[in-house]
Amino acid sequence: MINKAKMNWLQMIRDHVANSFHIECDDLEVSPFDSQGGLGKMCQLSGAKLEPLLDELNEVLVA
């Protein structure tokens, strides 16, 4: 189940990808992610699943 914090992050990632067509870990250190805790917070929420999640998002959204 996705909690409210994770959903907020996924929505921010969705908005970022809609504008740039790609997302990387470095992107999580700039606005709007930095105001929500940046890469560290996203790692906290997703754990070891962060890089595979971003890879999958990039692969699926570019196709």
The answer to whether 41 and 8 have CB atoms below 8 angstroms apart is no
Asked whether the whole model's pTM tops 0.95, one would answer no
* pLDDT, position 47: 81
Distance CA 37, CA 28 (A): 9
Sign of CA dihedral 8, 49, 38, 17: negative
Could you read off the pLDDT of 21-47 as tens digits, one per residue?
A: 889 999 999 999 999 999 999 999 888
